[in-house]
Amino acid sequence: MTTQMSAATRATGQVTGRTRPAWLVLALACACQFMVILDSSIVNVALPSIDRDLGFSSAGLAWVVNGYLLTFAGFMLLGGRAADLFGQRRTLTAGLVLFSASSLVGGLATGAGVLVGARVAQGVGAALLAPATLAVINTGFAEGRARARAFGAWSAAGGVGGMAGAVAGGALTTGLSWRWVFLINVPIGAVLVAVAATALSGARAGRREPLDLAGAVTGTAGLAALIYGVMHGADHGWTSPPVAGPVGAGIVLLAAFALVEARFATRPMTPPRLLRIRGVAVGTGMLLLFGGIAIAMWYFSSLFLQNVLGYGPLRAGLGQTPAAVTFMLVARCAAGLLPRFGVRPLVLAGGAGFVAGFGWLSTAGVHTSYLAGVLGPTLLVAAGIGLVFPTLMAAATADAPGGDAGTVGGLAQTAQQVGGSVGLAVLATAAGAATPAGRSTAAAFATGYDRVFLIAAGLAVVLAAVGFALPRHARD
């Protein structure tokens, strides 16, 4: 993106293609992000009903969730590159069609295998959608306040999706049927396809360049194998064959991917030159750390409310609502703060919120009340997430050349997803190791979760320290 933009372009915040309403582009990107994140959690509440109707095995039921998460994270790099090669509108539309069609199949499924297959396909559709939305924002809004506000709205939309998942899943399952957890995506997807045709009429059409098949195969297979392995780490042990085998294969495949991209690919899927851009390299690495910190907040604070304080699932979800609202509000505020203060101060302020919040949470126990020991620290951590997430996304993608916006967006989101997957497995293992053997009392659970919160505080210190390596401003 050049710095020589016309006054009209600067005023509207649009930098590519024909004139198109900025609000419509942003609404489309936010709606797609909302739908992708919503489907990461909306199914959880419906699992018992799905099990009763389709007769899953105990291990197979988990794949209704894991099948989606695995392909979502594993295909993200490929989805980002597709947005650059085939165009943002084509890729986003293809993702919407695949996501909606697989939702229809899932909603009508009469067998366990069909539903799991539909969830796997949904994850691939989401992997096409998510990086395309980032590319649309990165190339469709001028550097500075316009893009920062767009990133803030996009981040908040994801937060709304995550918060709404449990409530929407419960309402649809109770009021209609578990099938509507999937079928609801069909009309929404159809509307978004129509909106994309209008909103992205002037988006980048892509470039005539062959896909790096060797990089696509090794990168996608490597990520999928690595994530598959770490998903089972807490349950089977890190040295067991179901974990060590896939993790080892994933590491070997990712090493092969790096070699292919650096030495053999004439047009690499992830060009090494992108990692020589300071903001891309440091921002992506920090998003890896951030993924682990965020999962410590949303996943383990929910478990603390249920297993230590004795809350039911709905009450626990309501207990996290103030933190979710705080995240959304702060993410929107970060849009105005980023152009004024720059990247580093916001990351450091967010890191301070993480350290204070997790440190406070680590003192909680069975006699802790929600108001005195949970609400305050979760608000601090949520405010930190609201400051850090859109800031890191902006820092990681700001200097991406326009033709590589999708690739960098896919790289950034892959880092966050992998960080969350690895972080969940490692933190769950740490919680289990700290829990007294053979005990499942509230006090025993509290011991394990307190260790998780202390580890998260330590990760936040590392995140803040690495933040000094970021450019002070997104274009420095």
**Average pLDDT, integer, range 186-213:** 77
**Average pLDDT, integer, range 263-283:** 82
**Whose CA is closest to 474, among 150, 157, 155, 147?**
147
Please state, in angstroms and rounded to a whole number, the distance separating the CA atoms of residues 91 and 77: 13
**Average pLDDT, integer, range 211-227:** 83
User: In this predicted structure, what is the pLDDT of residue 439?
Assistant: 60
**Average pLDDT, integer, range 382-395:** 88
User: Which residue do the tokens 């084509």 mark?
Assistant: 90
Examine the pLDDT at 355 and tell me if it is beyond 90: yes
The rounded percent of the chain whose pLDDT value lies above 90 is 17
Examine the pLDDT at 7 and tell me if it is beyond 60: no
Residue 94: which pLDDT band, with cuts at 50, 70 and 90?
very high
**Mean per-residue pLDDT of the chain:** 81
**Average pLDDT, integer, range 395-410:** 75
Residue 148: which pLDDT band, with cuts at 50, 70 and 90?
confident
Please state, in angstroms and rounded to a whole number, the distance separating the CA atoms of residues 269 and 353: 37
Please state, in angstroms and rounded to a whole number, the distance separating the CA atoms of residues 276 and 4: 24
pLDDT tens per residue across span 433-458 = 777 665 668 888 888 889 999 999 99
**Average pLDDT, integer, range 260-281:** 82
Q: Which residue has the higher pLDDT, 211 or 308?
A: 308
19-210 maps to CATH 1.20.1250.20: yes
**H-helix segments, 342-467:** 343-361, 370-373, 375-397, 405-434, 442-466
Fold observed for domain 274-476: Growth Hormone; Chain: A; (1.20.1250)
Kindly provide the b/e burial profile for residues 12-51, where b requires at least 16 CB atoms within 10 angstroms of the residue's own CB. Answer: bbbbbbeebebeebbbbbbbbbbbbbbbbbbbbbbbebbb
User: In this predicted structure, what is the pLDDT of residue 97?
Assistant: 94
**Average pLDDT, integer, range 196-209:** 67
User: In this predicted structure, what is the pLDDT of residue 15?
Assistant: 41
Comparing 5-19, 22-36, 317-331, 453-467, the range with the smallest average pLDDT is: 5-19
Comparing 136-150, 209-223, 268-282, the range with the smallest average pLDDT is: 136-150
Extents of the domains making up the chain: 19-210, 212-268, 274-476
**Average pLDDT, integer, range 301-322:** 80
Residue 23: which pLDDT band, with cuts at 50, 70 and 90?
confident
pLDDT tens per residue across span 44-77 = 767 778 888 888 775 677 778 778 888 888 888 8
